[in-house]
């Protein structure tokens, strides 16, 4: 499934909003790097787990979503420099089906070193 902007993936955006809140009410930030999120990412790639359920959907910026692509999330996050505490936090969120982001959720920006040059 290709990665598309929010406006092209309304179903995914609506499913992700069940956990992360509405992007129109609270500004979504990329869970990986902290930049403004413009896309919905399958935390575990759709081709690996065949899941577009809310627990597998996270807000992501385009560069992170494209660079992660179809890879294992832990492998990718480790390779690009996502801090270990954020990796552990995201794995805990994935494992907790009742997680709901609070309105004041803070995701601090971190610089990542992409494996490929991201397209903007």
Residue 33 counted as domain residue: yes
Distance (Å, whole) CA 73 – CA 10: 23
Flag whether 115 is in a domain. no
Cα dist. 106→31, 36, 71, 83, 118 in Å?
10, 12, 26, 15, 24
In a domain, 37, yes or no: yes
Classify residue 117: in a domain, yes or no. no
Q: What is the DSSP letter of 73?
A: H
* pLDDT over 90 percentage in the chain: 66
Q: Which residues pair with 100 in a beta bridge?
A: none
Decide if 108 is inside a domain: no
Residue the block writes with tokens 């494209």 = 66
Residue 29 lies in a domain: yes
Instruction: Kindly state the average pLDDT of the residues 74-103.
Output: 95
By residue range, what is the domain housing residue 70? Answer: 6-95
Selected residue with higher pLDDT from 23 and 120: 23
Average pLDDT (60-86) is: 96
Sign of CA dihedral 28, 34, 43, 71: positive
Please tell me which residue, 39 or 47, carries the higher pLDDT value: 39
Asked if the model's pLDDT at residue 8 lies above 70, the reply is: no
């Amino acid at each position: 499934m290709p990665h598309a902007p929010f406006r092209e993936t309304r179903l995914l955006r609506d499913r992700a909003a069940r956990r992360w809140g509405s992007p129109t009410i609270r500004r979504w930030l990329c869970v990986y790097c902290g930049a403004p999120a413009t896309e919905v990412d399958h935390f575990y790639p759709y081709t690996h787990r065949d899941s577009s359920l809310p627990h597998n959907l996270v807000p992501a910026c385009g560069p992170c979503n494209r660079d992660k692509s179809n890879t294992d999330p832990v492998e990718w996050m480790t390779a690009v420099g996502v801090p270990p505490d954020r990796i552990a936090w995201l794995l805990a969120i994935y494992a907790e089906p009742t997680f709901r982001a609070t309105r004041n959720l803070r995701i601090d920006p971190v610089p990542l070193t992409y494996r490929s040059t991201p397209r903007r």
